[in-house]
Amino acid sequence: MRVNVAALCVGMLLAHQAVAQAAPDSAIPWLSDSLAAPTPVTPARPEEPAATPLTQREISVMPIGQTRRDAVGLLPTGLTGLPRDTFAASDPDRLAQLISQLPGDAMPAMQDLALMLLLAELDAPRVSSDPDMLFFARVDGLLRFGALDQAQALMERAGATDPKAFRRWWDTSLLTGFDTRACDAMTANPGVAPTLPARIFCLTRTGDWAAAMLTLDTGRAIGAITEEEDLLLAHFLDPELFEGEPPPIPPRPMTPLAFRLLDGIGETPSTLDLPLAFAAADLRPTSGWKAQIEAAERLVRVQALDPNRLLALYTEGRPSASGGVWDRAAAIQRLDTALLSGDPAQVNDSLPQAVVSMRDAGLLVPFAKLYGERLAQIPLEGATAELALRVGLLSSAYEAVARTAAPVTPRDAFATAIALGDAPGTLPPGPLARAIADGMTGEPPEHLTSLANSGRLGEALFEAAILLADGAETDPQDIADALAFFRSVGMQDVARRTALQLLLI
């Protein structure tokens, strides 16, 4: 049996070396390029070329009937309302560049738009030197936003049997808790294994610790693993050997596999300073309540997690301390109890603190999605009624809330008109309100319109989203241009929600 295990290990090492030789030079050990921080690129301004000309590009060829992964999606056109040729005439290089520019801290309306475009089922670009370029750019964008469940589902639908796709699926599975399934897939197809340490980890998942140790020893002997990998794997495979010694230093950059190995020896790294994708690991029931809330807040903030998941965590138990997440949990619990009682006095007392807590945490729109419509049904008065109206206008039911609203301030009256799709009347002071009014009534910019009219609607939508990267601090002309463009292509809901968020957050 010893001979068989040794032969297995040697075969695994040879396969690993072959895969390593085929891997791109830029690949980070144990971590696919998908979780690396993107290189910042300055968004194109109106006076710059709107897109890279399609010149001297190779045309991809494939058998008739074969679906390119660029065309695979989770959201059908009947759900998104997007035409199938949204990306068809665009240069995939340009689309990938724009996806990398999408800000991670954009307004919720723009995050929703970006996620819809990344998950949409649309025709692939007609001209491309790499038929999978847009697919991998979309997956990488989802992972950068922490939308791991969506990325995993997209990869599984498109197929992740080649090394480049498997590395991303492997990373995602480690962080979402599906590592056993990923290891089963690796065992069935050893050629896709990302790294030798990944193979060793998977041997332990099947209970074959002896083969894992022998593989590690063989890897050391032929120099197939680094000293850092050696130390981390040794601690994971035989923690008693290092009893009383300090734990291994976490690698930089952190990788999903390193995270799982450290977690296995009881040294789980904090995810607060790690890329957003790692936050998903803290949603596991084995994580502490505070860590779960913090992870859910980070993911809900970028629309990568359903706000109801955060609400469930807020109300899971009684806060044991004060400050930060505990204050938010306590405020939400008080408001939730008040709404369940139906007592306007209790709602009047609890709503202001809840709004302040969630606004300061950048969670006002998710809060509005949870409570905006319910608050509109409670008879409130004075300042609390004004607060409830603003929360309602930030919710998904903004139009229904606006129909029954009785705005008092000029800003609320202006916001109510926007929610109803009416022409704004008297404007509140400031350039922001004027920019919003211009965007809701004016003509779209020519450079975005020309893109949309030439079959590059997706490209234009990405550019419009990037124009609003600075939120309410965005240049007024860019705000007007983006809103007018959304209206011009039939995205009235996107335009209204964006305008309301600019005005009320």
Q: Residue 478, class by beta-carbon neighbours within 10 Å (0-12 exposed, 13-18 middle, 19+ buried)?
A: buried
pLDDT of residue 301: 96
Q: Residue 247, class by beta-carbon neighbours within 10 Å (0-12 exposed, 13-18 middle, 19+ buried)?
A: middle
- Closest by Cα among 381, 351, 369 to 500: 369
In one-letter notation, the amino acid at residue 253 is P
pLDDT of residue 376: 93
pLDDT of residue 314: 96
The pair phi, psi for residue 75, each rounded to 5°, is: -110, 115
Distance separating alpha carbons of residues 298 and 301, to the nearest angstrom: 5
Q: What are 170-218's pLDDT values in tens digits?
A: 999 999 989 899 899 888 887 787 788 989 999 998 889 999 999 999 9
380: tokens are 């409130």
pLDDT of residue 18: 44
Q: How far is CA 37 from CA 21, 40, 88, 266, 274, in A?
A: 24, 9, 28, 27, 11
The pair phi, psi for residue 327, each rounded to 5°, is: -65, -40
* CA 400 to chain CA mean position, Å: 29
DSSP annotation of 475 reads -
pLDDT of residue 40: 45
pLDDT of residue 43: 44
pLDDT of residue 161: 83
* CA 358 to chain CA mean position, Å: 20
Helix axes 163-176, 179-188, angle to 10 degrees: 150
Q: Where do the structural domains in the chain lie, given as residue ranges?
A: 1-37+159-304, 86-122+407-505, 306-396
Distance separating alpha carbons of residues 164 and 167, to the nearest angstrom: 6
- Closest by Cα among 502, 382, 349 to 436: 502
Per-residue pLDDT of the chain (505 residues), as tens digits, is 343 444 444 444 444 444 443 443 333 334 555 555 444 444 444 444 333 333 333 333 343 345 689 999 999 999 999 999 999 999 999 999 999 999 999 999 999 999 999 999 999 998 877 788 999 999 999 999 999 999 999 999 998 888 888 989 999 999 998 989 989 988 888 778 778 898 999 999 888 999 999 999 999 998 888 899 999 999 999 988 888 888 898 988 899 999 999 999 999 999 998 999 999 999 998 899 999 999 999 999 999 999 999 999 999 999 988 888 999 999 999 999 999 998 999 999 999 999 999 999 999 999 999 999 999 999 999 999 999 999 999 999 999 999 999 899 999 999 999 999 987 777 888 899 999 999 999 999 999 999 999 999 999 999 999 999 999 999 999 999 999 999 999 999 999 999 999 999 8
Q: Residue 220, class by beta-carbon neighbours within 10 Å (0-12 exposed, 13-18 middle, 19+ buried)?
A: middle
